[in-house]
Amino acid sequence: MNHPNIVRYFDSFEGWYAASLIIPLKILDSGYVYIVMEYCDKGDLYQKINAQKGVLMPESRVLDYFVQLALALKHIHDRMILHRDIKTQNIFLTSEGRVKLGDFGIAKVLNHTLDLARTCIGTPYYLSPEMCENKPYNHKSDIWALGCVLYEMATLKHAFEAGNMKNLVLKIIRGTYPPVPPKYSYELRCLISQLFRRSPRERPSITSILRKPFIMKRISRFLTESQVADEFSHTVLHRGKPTSKVHVPGSPGLENTSVAFGAKRPSVAMNPKQAQLGANKKWKPIDPTVLKNPRRLQSPDNVTPPAVSVAACAGAPEVRRRNEELLVELNRRRQRESMEKQKVSFVGKSNMKRE
């Protein structure tokens, strides 16, 4: 992976090959694989936090570190990779002020974006509630760990601490942690609370985190124009060309960068070709009366298509949303009817046994 906020890999070799290198042979024992990686001369974030000696970091520095870490995490999540061991000891610093995510020793590549991992690994302080409960997990566990790191940068302490593993797990599952110092902005404190939501579904994705205005305006400090285009265009992963445009605040030179980051889709009426394409697609709304007679769904003749036009096509998403709501309600009614039938059948069998 080639990213300015990920520790770069250069080469690897086995110990027996070390005879040709100007390095003491006792360091390069045979039978081991040696990995050559980028050197981060300022140590790791854990050392940086300890060096503060109780003095809180400025919010600007906390956000700069966090944005770079979030950019690295987005890079791997876009490629369906879970880090699974995000912690301050695995976040490295350089003399140029760069933050680099490293140590992918227990990372996992998912086959699909909806895949779930099941192995409970990682550092206890940064484990997510679903991992503590031995449930399947996905990239949202990395988001939880990201929240732990952000909290640690803001308070210089772990969010969840206890005298033993049992109490630590209980605290994590309950999601109880000391409040963030009021020195920091409401946006930062609110972000931490969002990252610490117990339900993985309620936690924001890394892309939605980077879309927040107070985060987004800092991105241009760490990525060039071309890097922004590569990182925030999802079509790059599909070997396509990015089409939409977005302006990253604070960087006048990026308004012409073709990216898909935070950009709103143009309305159908703005593009005649798209409008014609949408007009040819007939959206059929579901008649609400089918809820009273579900069998009517089997007959497409009972669904009357609307008069299609460019103006009406703009309301197609609303029609789809309404259709989805009606289908959900229909499924609920079917489930209730099925449960009632099972209940009646069970009661009937019980009465027969008594007789």
Q: H/E/C letters for each residue in 91-138?
A: EEECCCCCEEECCCCCCEECCCCCCCECCCCCCHHHCCHHHHCCCCEC
Assess whether 211 and 99 both reside in one domain. yes
pLDDT in the model for residue 193? 94
Look up the pTM and report it: 0.61
pLDDT in the model for residue 35? 79
Asked if residue 176 is part of any domain, the answer here is yes
pLDDT in the model for residue 118? 43
* Bridge partners for 81 per DSSP: 109
Assess whether 202 and 63 both reside in one domain. yes
Count of the separate structural domains present in the chain: 2
- Model confidence at 260: pLDDT above 80: no
pLDDT in the model for residue 178? 94
Assess whether 117 and 198 both reside in one domain. yes
Query: Of all helices (H) and strands (E), which one includes residue 34?
Result: strand 33-37
Assess whether 82 and 173 both reside in one domain. yes
Assess whether 49 and 187 both reside in one domain. yes
Asked if residue 6 is part of any domain, the answer here is no
- Full domain range(s) for residue 194: 40-222
- Model confidence at 111: pLDDT above 80: no
Assess whether 191 and 324 both reside in one domain. no
The mean pLDDT of 307-323, rounded to a whole number, is 54
Asked if residue 13 is part of any domain, the answer here is no
Catalytic residue list: 85
CATH number of the domain at 190, please: 1.10.510.10
Distance CA 84, CA 62 (A): 22
Assess whether 213 and 276 both reside in one domain. no
Question: Most distant CA pair in the chain: distance in Å?
Answer: 93
Assess whether 168 and 64 both reside in one domain. yes
- Model confidence at 24: pLDDT above 60: no
Distance CA 189, CA 116 (A): 29
pLDDT tens column, 228-249? 887 787 544 444 444 444 455 5
Assess whether 200 and 276 both reside in one domain. no
**Residue from 310, 29, 88, 74 nearest 215 by CA:** 74
